[in-house]
Chain A
Amino acid sequence: MDRAVAIEISRLGKVYGRVTAIADVSFQVSSGEVFGLLGPNGAGKTTTLRILITVLPPTSGQATVLGYDVVRDAERVRQSIGYVPQERAVDRFLTGREHLLLLGALYHLSKEEIQRRITEVLQLVDLEHKADQPVRTYSGGMKRKLDLACGLLPNPQVLFLDEPTLGLDVKSRLRIWDYIRHLKQRGITVVMTTNYLDEADQLCDRVAIIDGGRIRALGSPAQLKVGLGGDIVAVTVEAAAMNRIEALAAAVNALPAIRSVTPKPNGLDIRVDSPEKALPSVLEAANRLGCRLEFIEYHRPTLEDVFVAHTGHAIREEFPQSDE
């Protein structure tokens, strides 16, 4: 990478008593990049983020933000970052403007500077009309906008977002995505955690897939998908033909342009270089063997496939959680 390094993490670890929250986490974030930490709840995303914003000391390894060590130069780091915690980290009794006034003073800005910035960030997140109402009257989306405004108030070089769209409705979600794209255009480095695959896919220049406290894969969404090797043709075999499935697997494996064949309980997952060439020959092989197909589909690998390939499980095994 030819761009400057904004964040550098090397062999970072955090242990609570006997529980290892993260182990041996290393990555770099270039300045101006939108970097995503993708993983299920409890994977270690928030722990990593909290170490970077200097509120949690690591038990091993090192991390620097803009060249400043998060432990030894914590004060310098705090001066140059903005932080948007998960929802509800607001004081219900204060108005939006009062939140911003408070934060302005905590960043030691002058009165005029505070006023100028408040006007600017309120405009950016489109919250001017509600600025003087207590936060308890805000909707979830508005609270999120205020959170974002608070994070942007110090005009940070690096902005940390913890689950920016967790629990939001679709409309507010897309709105927040727009703001994040806008920040990227302004050259702000953004580090965000998310457990939404589509969010990581849509927004992030690069993604670190984190699970069980370790980085499992790292790269741009496109790279990660290509890295899986080809598109996926999934065939579902009729129940009566299940006894011929091994024969079909062997036949397909012998075809050209086939990368791999993975048996499933009711069919096969076939990775192919080019679905246009592979589809007819797979169908022909099935016909030849008298192995009747119930269903056939093909798709480009999604980030979900990447996640499963690297962690061995889906990001959400059960229901998507609501807002905790």
Chain B
Amino acid sequence: MHDYLQEIGALTMRWVRRLSREKFSMLFTLVQPMLFWLIFFGNLFQRAADTQVVQAPSYISFLAAGVVVMTVLNNGLAGGVDLLFDKENGFLERLLSTPIHRTSIILSRFLFVMTITSCQVLVILGVAALFGVRPATGLLGIAVILFIGVLFGVGLTALSMAMAFSVKSHGDFFSVLGFLSLPMIFLSSALVPLAAMPSWMSVVARFNPMTWAIDAVRPLILAGWAEALPRVGLVIVFMAVFDALCLYGSARAFRRSVG
């Protein structure tokens, strides 16, 4: 057990050290979602979006939940890419030749991605607060939002790792990533409520896990516990299934790739 913790600690530390070396890119990863989506997009559509349609006091307050989940999506889907680079340049093989438990490599990555994502979600909620958006469910509500984020993030990161261990090159990985990420956002309730979508889009969006997560986070911010609790309960069940599927896929891909 002590060995296991030592491995995970050291491997997680590696990601943290890398992040601190890449200050420039760190700043952009952290700032981009709130700058682009929350501040620009939110304010741009402030008057174009009908508060009757979005059923929120302002478009930014409606969008906040969407931006939170988008951040989880983007971080999660990109979460496997560093392992892909490790695989390509032989670093992974170096790690695999040491007497460590195979799962340490995966776990340390989850730990890191989830921590970064949670920090980012907190910053987004903070920026939203500057625009007058206060979560209706208070601090406990924020904790639940983080929990939902982690639940969703685990599945996405697992999916990303499964892809990282299956693709031939990182070119393929980024093609799939680029192909997935925007449709996942547009075909969800992140920017527009389902009721306001063309009917075929709302049908597709209903099956999008993004929508499930957003529909649980949004009432936590806008409405209150009474409305949020049933949705939170539902999303926990959904996400448990989603995570199980993604983790199974990623475990299979990992085993096939590294034995």
Contact = CB atoms under 8 A, between A and B. Distances in A.
Interface of A: 50, 53-57, 75, 78-79, 81, 83, 85-86, 88-91, 93-94, 98, 101-108, 134, 150, 154
Given A79-B99, A93-B21, A94-B17, A106 B93 contact: no
Contacts of B11: 102, 106
A127 to B, nearest CB: 17
Interface stretch (B1-9, B60-68, B238-246): B1-9
Given A56-B259, A88-B90, A94-B21, 20 more contacts: A75-B99, A78-B99, A83-B93, A85-B90, A89-B93, A89-B94, A90-B89, A91-B14, A91-B18, A93-B18, A94-B17, A98-B14, A101-B10, A104-B10, A107-B99, A108-B3, A108-B7, A108-B99, A134-B21, A150-B94
Contacts of B95: 106
B91 interface: yes
Nearest to B90: A89
Interface string B89-126: 11101111111100000000000000000000000000
Contact of A78 (B18, B22, B97): B97
Given A75-B99, A88-B90, A107-B98, A93 B22 contact: yes
Contacts of B14: 91, 94, 98, 102
B197 interface: no
Contacts of A90: 89, 91
A50 B9 CA distance: 27
B13 interface: yes
A96 to B, nearest CB: 13
B258 interface: yes
B64 to A, nearest CB: 33
B93 A85 contact: yes
A85 B96 CA distance: 12
26 contacts: A50-B93, A53-B97, A54-B97, A55-B96, A55-B259, A57-B259, A78-B97, A78-B98, A78-B99, A79-B99, A83-B97, A85-B90, A86-B90, A89-B91, A89-B94, A90-B89, A91-B18, A91-B91, A93-B22, A94-B21, A98-B14, A102-B10, A104-B10, A106-B11, A107-B99, A150-B94
B256 to A, nearest CB: 12
A52 B75 CA distance: 37
A106 B10 contact: yes
Which 6 residue pairs spanning A and B have beta carbons closest together? A105-B10, A89-B90, A78-B99, A83-B97, A93-B21, A106-B98
Contacts of A89: 89-91, 93-94
A67 B17 CA distance: 38
Given A91-B14, A108-B99, A83 B94 contact: yes
Nearest to B100: A106
A300 to B, nearest CB: 38
A79 B101 CA distance: 12
Contacts of B98: 78, 103, 106-107, 154
Contacts of B13: 102
A307 B233 CA distance: 70
A105 B7 contact: yes
Contact of A105 (B9, B18, B21, B94): B9
Contacts of B89: 88-90
